[in-house]
Structure 1
Amino acid sequence: MLIRRETPADRSTVYAIHSEAFRREPGVTPIEAPLVDELRADGDLLEALSLVAVRGGEVVGHVCCSRARIGEDTTSAVGLGPLGVLPAHQASGVGSALVHAVLGAADALGYGLVVLLGNPAYYARFGFVTASTLSITAPDPAWSKNFQARTLTGYKPTQAGAFEYAPAFSRI
């Protein structure tokens, strides 16, 4: 499996991946599919942190990070998501490889925190903890147990406060 940066040629495949990975009911496009396009259109998708997984020459997974804010800090944290893998390739290590790769890339780029809304049972294996333990407040109090953060090398304890995703998240 190869993990690489997303290219413009991957965009329709990325949309299809999130459509299939998050489909809840037939004929209804899940919000995660257009979210990536909206983040890109707003200039909030971080190109260096938009990665695809290629297996057998086929793009089978995608993860991205976008600009975020913690308190008044707009440069040290990113929001992870969505993370999607085609159903036929789920539970085969694709998602884990994408998360490891995006965390390593975010760390290398100097970010201090990666924040996400997701299943703690899945993300704990990557070092994510409940964000409130780091004094990071979720945009919605109902998210508290699923709202998580992962510190990176550039983390400083002053990176705390109310978390805010890129505006596209509020529009979905």
Structure 2
Amino acid sequence: MERSANYLPTWARSKDFLYDRVLVPVWGLHPVTPFFPPHELALLAEVTRYGHTIVTNSNFAPSGPRVYLKLSFRDAPGHNITVRRIVSGAAEDEAVKALDIESDYSAANSYFVPDARAKRDARKEAIEQAEKLAGEFVDPVAVAAYVANIRALFAAIDASAVELPDAAE
């Protein structure tokens, strides 16, 4: 696994490995050190392959700001989506919160809450933006394979995650 981490994108400056998680410091205005299971990290590396990136954001809460990660789409800056929504598979009108450890970005460490501000299906938007940008760099057959790989990584995340609880229950 250490050797495969050499292929991480530039937003993932360095890495440390735990038993089943990879610590990846993300630099920027609000540096943070999240940790990811291998499938989630592989997904983010793949989605950012052609120029999208991961950025940090803060809610600037007076009682203590919460810093979180967003996927920033190169040609659609107004469409940034939180990483937690993407890895957890949030649909339209759903936000995703951490169950326990805020810096753990595994899909299993998340739960859904209603959020009328969430106007897009997170995974669908990520796939559409990744496919659009990849089309600028590679031929259509390679784009189709690239998108199939992203879908396979989503399936692997879903298969490895426990069932996510619903906040309404």
TM class by smaller structure: 0.3 to 0.5
**Greater share of strand:** 1
Q: TM-score, normalised by structure 1?
A: 0.32
**How does the TM-score come out when normalised to structure 2?**
0.32
